[in-house]
């Protein structure tokens, strides 16, 4: 370091006007002076003429270099070699991901996922009834099944979305977390979503070319629209019996028969045959569809009463409708057990009897513990009914 220090002795011996050894390191506008205490100080002298321009350029370059160096620290690499993001970039990235997550969550709630799962499971289960041996499970079968499931899910989103569009005020009381009721979606957004999904459903059904599939979509569209839309002679959900028949027609009849025929006649090119398992599935799901149609209104009794929806829960009371639903399901399980007992297949008999006996016992045990004065408890039990619905579609392919 001593070699780099400017020594006063060298400065004092320099002749006036002679070039100093180290002056070439500094621009001409700078001079080195020795004060009375033996310290070296640098002073900047104003110069005239063209020299001033070069001196200013030198200092401008130095200050610019310092600013660039300081800015480069914001995007410097860390010890592991990874580039660090500046705070604005990190904030923008977080905001984008938060917006995407919020949008997906809103659409998830808008689609009513418990109905989406029920639709997908029911179509897969009924389609398997057309399978006669393992060789039937081929790419042709899987393609036909996928086409049916996707088209039906698009139509499902249209139906539940349309219902929310015409129930915004009711849902503000009964289901305030839904996107339209909470204000996350505007009505225009809801209209756009249901329109797009209806168009995609019909477009796919038409492209596939299966008559059973297309008619299933069309009838579901008509009944779903008449159930919800607020036009003269429509909005059938206001009438308890008609509302129940709409749900029964879609869940019990159309799903079982139309999608079975789609696989049986269009995919496998076999003649239409209404087999014993198909008849059982249609009969059992008739009970289940009635239960879903009745039970879904039990948690919503407050909003339905305010807006004049004369559901069975409004007319008969929550407690009576609750136990009617439990009784219908227990009756359906009893019939299923008898159906299993008459099966000629030992494995089918065992699975059908054991499976439905377990579900019947679980249902009774859970029903006895429900607090009918609590909306949260009733809603939770309603979602449990849907889980039983899913479980039944796992058992239906085992019925022979």
Give per-residue pLDDT as tens, 315-324: 899 999 999 9
The SS3 call for residue 77 is strand
The Cα–Cα gap between 349 and 345 comes to 6
**pLDDT higher than 50, residue 175:** yes
- Could you tell me which of 275, 250, 272, 252 has the C-alpha nearest to residue 339? 275
Q: How far is CA 383 from CA 295, 312, 377, 387, in A?
A: 10, 19, 10, 7
pLDDT of residue 90: 63
pLDDT of residue 89: 66
Q: What is the mean pLDDT of the chain?
A: 83
- Could you tell me which of 158, 163, 199, 159 has the C-alpha nearest to residue 180? 163
User: What whole-number percentage of the chain has pLDDT above 70?
Assistant: 77
**Is 218:158 a contact under the CB 8 Å cutoff?**
no
Give per-residue pLDDT as tens, 126-166: 999 999 999 999 999 999 999 999 999 999 999 999 999 99
Chain position carrying tokens 């239960």: 291
Lowest mean pLDDT across 9-18, 342-351, 378-387: 9-18
Lowest mean pLDDT across 43-57, 101-115, 328-342, 373-387: 43-57
Lowest mean pLDDT across 7-21, 219-233, 324-338: 7-21
Give per-residue pLDDT as tens, 335-345: 999 999 999 99
DSSP H/E element including 33:
strand 30-34
- Confidence grade of residue 352 (pLDDT, cut at 50, 70, 90): very high
- Could you tell me which of 212, 201, 214 has the C-alpha nearest to residue 263? 212
Interval 374-391 mean pLDDT: 94
Interval 192-221 mean pLDDT: 97
Of residues 49 and 107, more confidence is placed in 107
**Is 266:212 a contact under the CB 8 Å cutoff?**
yes
Q: How far is CA 200 from CA 156, 211, 280, 321, in A?
A: 12, 17, 32, 38
Q: How far is CA 144 from CA 89, 139, 199, 248, 267, in A?
A: 46, 9, 20, 25, 6
Interval 40-65 mean pLDDT: 45
The Cα–Cα gap between 312 and 305 comes to 11
CB hemisphere CA count around 258 (13 angstroms): 22
The SS3 call for residue 341 is helix
Interval 94-102 mean pLDDT: 91
**pLDDT higher than 90, residue 12:** no
The Cα–Cα gap between 360 and 362 comes to 6
**pLDDT higher than 80, residue 43:** no
β-pair type (30-34, 40-44):
antiparallel
**Is 387:363 a contact under the CB 8 Å cutoff?**
no
pLDDT of residue 310: 83
**pLDDT higher than 90, residue 36:** no
The Cα–Cα gap between 95 and 130 comes to 49
**pLDDT higher than 50, residue 187:** yes
Give per-residue pLDDT as tens, 292-315: 999 999 998 888 888 888 888 988
**pLDDT higher than 90, residue 73:** no
| DSSP symbol at 6 | P
Per the structure block, which two tokens stand in for 288? 């289940």
The Cα–Cα gap between 388 and 255 comes to 17
Per the structure block, which two tokens stand in for 180? 């339209």
Chain position carrying tokens 């689609």: 111
Q: How far is CA 128 from CA 249, 257, 352, 358, 398, in A?
A: 21, 13, 16, 23, 10
pLDDT of residue 220: 97
- The structure's pTM equals 0.74
The Cα–Cα gap between 160 and 309 comes to 18
The Cα–Cα gap between 170 and 302 comes to 9
């Amino acid at each position: 370091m001593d070699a780099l220090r400017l020594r006063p002795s060298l400065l004092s011996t320099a002749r006036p006007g002679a070039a100093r050894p180290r002056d070439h390191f500094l621009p001409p506008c700078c001079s080195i002076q020795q004060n009375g205490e033996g310290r070296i100080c640098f002073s900047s002298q104003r110069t005239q003429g063209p020299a001033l321009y070069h001196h200013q350029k030198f200092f401008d370059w130095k200050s610019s270099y310092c600013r660039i160096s300081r800015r480069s620290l914001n995007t410097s690499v860390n010890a592991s070699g990874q580039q660090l993001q500046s705070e604005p970039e990190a904030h923008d990235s977080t905001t984008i991901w938060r917006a995407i997550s919020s949008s997906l969550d809103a659409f998830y709630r808008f689609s009513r996922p418990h109905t989406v799962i029920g639709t997908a499971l029911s179509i897969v289960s009924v389609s398997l009834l057309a399978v006669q041996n393992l060789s039937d499970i081929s790419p042709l079968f899987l393609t036909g099944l996928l086409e049916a499931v996707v088209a039906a899910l698009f139509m499902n989103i249209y139906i539940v979305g349309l219902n929310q569009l015409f129930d915004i005020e009711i849902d503000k009381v009964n289901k305030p977390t839904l996107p339209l009721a909470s204000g996350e979606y505007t009505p225009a957004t809801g209209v756009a979503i249901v329109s797009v999904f209806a168009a995609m459903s019909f477009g796919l059904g038409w492209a596939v070319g299966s008559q059973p599939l297309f008619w299933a979509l069309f009838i579901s569209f008509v009944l779903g629209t008449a159930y919800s839309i607020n036009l003269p002679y429509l909005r059938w959900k206001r009438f308890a019996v008609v509302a129940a028949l709409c749900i029964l027609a879609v869940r019990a009849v159309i799903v079982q028969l139309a999608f079975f025929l789609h696989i049986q006649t269009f995919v496998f090119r076999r003649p239409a045959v209404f087999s014993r398992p198909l008849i059982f599935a249609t009969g059992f799901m008739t009970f289940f569809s009635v239960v879903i149609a009745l039970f879904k209104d039990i948690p919503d009794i407050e909003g339905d009463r305010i807006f004049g929806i004369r559901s069975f829960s409004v007319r008969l009371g929550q407690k009576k409708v609750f136990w009617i639903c439990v009784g219908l399901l227990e009756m359906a399980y009893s019939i299923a057990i008898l159906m299993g007992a008459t099966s000629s297949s030992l494995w089918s008999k065992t699975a059908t009897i054991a499976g439905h006996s377990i579900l019947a016992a679980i249902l009774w045990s859970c029903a006895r513990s429900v607090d009918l004065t609590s909306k949260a408890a009733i809603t939770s039990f309603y979602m449990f009914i849907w889980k039983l619905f899913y479980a039944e579609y796992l058992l239906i392919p085992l019925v022979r």
